[in-house]
Amino acid sequence: MNLPLLSFLTWLPILGGIAVMLVGDRRASAARWLALGVAIAAFLACIPLYSGFDVTSAALQFPERMAWIPSLHSDYHLGVDGISLPLILLTTFSTVLVIIAGWTVIEKRPSQYYAAFLIMEGLMIGVFSAADALLFYVFWEAMLIPMFLIIGVWGGARRIYATIKFFLYTFLGSVFMLAALIYMYLKSGSYDLAALYALPLSSAEQTAIFLAFFAAFAVKVPMVPVHTWLPDAHVEAPTGGSVILAAIMLKMGGYGFLRFSLPITPDAAHDLDMLVIGLSLGAVVYIGLIALVQTDMKKLIAYSSIAHMGFVTLGAFIGYEIVSATGSHDGVVLGLSGAMVQMISHGLVSGALFLCVGVLYDRLHTRDIGAYGGVINTMPVFGAFMVLFAMANSGLPGTSGFVGEFMVVLAAFKANFWYAFLAATTLILGAAYTLWLVKRVIFGAVANEGVASLKDLNGREFLVLGVLAVAVLAMGLYPKPLTDVMEPSLRHLAQLMSVSKL
């Protein structure tokens, strides 16, 4: 039996999104239920994907392949491995939550709102399952359109500035990637990822290709100094947009590094690893300090996202420094799994925090920290959730936020004491900006009439935050199922990283 499960996962939400749009705003309730049904169906379709996945193999599984653009030798080629599977699960999981979270909040063109998220979901799954570089690129760029609209249509006051900044920033980066892919196609005659992995490239070629990829992925992650689109985009995006942006879209960058940069240009990645490591550590410290002084809740969480994503890029590239420091490959996979775990965890935790801000924003229509204070007096249940997610964001053991950071710090130590030292400052900085936020917003006496009038979570909000809380704790207490899925693929990746292509 070989059902086209990945095609189903990719196209069901896209077609479902079109159907939701056709139902229209006049029948908003029907559109909502249809959207929810599609999102849940996609999530349920992940069950056979997970249960049928062979955790002992690094090979691409559930493969589908047919000719797509024969003149360019590009195939419609899909497949998942241990790197993409968790990200696909995260995508379908987050989409369901986002649809529920927007249930009564979105009044402007609701059917189009849900359609945008569903189409977005399909495209993101396409990105994670594409095994052909051109197909990947098409999904990658197409993904920008729904997000451009989500921010531009349902966003806040400065949404036009934010969405154009977002689009241009990320589009500019991606163009370089396209150039690199075309160059490699001309050399190898194929867009197939396996062929690109096997393609020998000179040092100069690798460096140019690496930098082209770097432009695309670093913007997406985002890495310092190409991160400034993110705070603007988050601040202006509607809650659901922020959640998807933080939970999935940022992961595209990390995924790109693991899927393209490291295996295709291993020697250049080795030569230029200090660039990535330096910028990652910079993100932890520089961005951590910036997050400390933010007065807008969403901006604070956006900066916190950048700092946390620093661990992803650090974990991905630390392997080269480990090998040169110790002469052994022990720790390379540890760093890679740390990076992966951090991506998944960040998806849950930052998504949850943006939802928390959304809960407050829906009630008082401000994101200004100064407008709150003593929220726990009127919203005790919400306060408990917020404290839990804040602790997860501070990397508390027992929550998912700890696992990835712990692994990356352990790996970084193998390379150099000071890398681990700088990375571990997140323990202090992360706790400082997160708990200071909690202190000012959640704790204290009731600050004003607005806070006094707050109503605690309704059933829908409780459901969404409750599910995330369970996920955050489950992953913190028992991460083994997740790391087991990734392990063989990451071992394979570590091997590709270490074989020179010169």
- 80 is written with which tokens? 């998942």
Range 126-145, binding another protein (CB under 8 A): none
Please say whether the beta carbons of 125 and 94 come within 8 A. Answer: no
Segment contacting another protein (CB under 8 A): 142-150, 194-202, 358-366, 441-449?
Answer: 441-449
SS3 68: strand
DSSP 327: S
Please, what is the minimum distance in Å from the beta carbon of residue 257 to another protein? 18
- Please state the φ and ψ torsions of residue 192, each to the nearest 5 degrees: -65, 135
Q: Among residue numbers 323 through 342, which ones bind another protein (CB under 8 A)?
A: 330-334, 337
Dist CA 75 CA 159 (whole Å): 37
Among 36, 275, 435, 463, binds another protein (CB under 8 A): 435
Q: In sequence order, which residues have a C-beta less than 8 Å from that of residue 311 and are 6 or more positions away? A: 280, 284, 338, 339, 342, 404, 405, 408, 423, 426
Residues 6+ positions from 276 with CB-CB distance below 8 Å: 214, 223, 257, 313, 314, 316, 317
Which of 18, 66, 72, 428 is close enough to bind another protein by CB under 8 A?
428
Q: How far apart are CA 415 and CA 212, in angstroms?
A: 26
Residue 66 one-letter amino acid = M
State the minimum distance, in angstroms, from the CB of residue 81 to another protein: 16
Exactly one of 425, 463, 466, 473 binds another protein (CB under 8 A); that residue is: 425
Q: Closest CB to another protein among 32 and 308?
A: 308
What is the footprint of another protein within residues 382-411 (CB under 8 A)? 387, 391, 394, 396-398, 403, 406-407, 409-410
- The secondary structure of 225-248, three-state, reads CCCCHHHHHHHHCCHHHHHHHHHH
Judged by CB under 8 A, which of 412, 441, 454, 472 binds another protein? 412
Question: Per-residue string for binding with another protein, 223-262, x by CB under 8 A?
Answer: --x--xx---------------------------------
CA distance 62 to 79: 5
Interface with another protein, residue 376, by CB under 8 A: yes
Q: How many CB atoms lie within 10 A of CB 330?
A: 12
**Does residue 417 belong to the site contacting another protein (CB under 8 A)?**
yes
* 370 is a site residue for another protein (CB under 8 A): no
Q: Which of 154, 255, 286, 389 binds another protein (CB under 8 A)?
A: 286
How many helices (H) and strands (E) would you count in the chain? 26, 2
Q: Which is nearer to another protein, 272 or 490 (CB)?
A: 490
The total of other beta-carbon atoms located within 10 Å of residue 163's CB is: 25
Specify the residue, 191 or 385, whose C-beta has the smaller distance to another protein.
Answer: 385
Kindly list the residues in this chain that would bind another protein in the complex (CB under 8 A).
165, 168-169, 225, 228-229, 286, 289-294, 330-334, 337, 374, 376-377, 387, 391, 394, 396-398, 403, 406-407, 409-410, 412-414, 417-418, 420-421, 424-425, 427-429, 431-432, 435-436, 439, 442-446, 477-480, 482-484, 487, 490
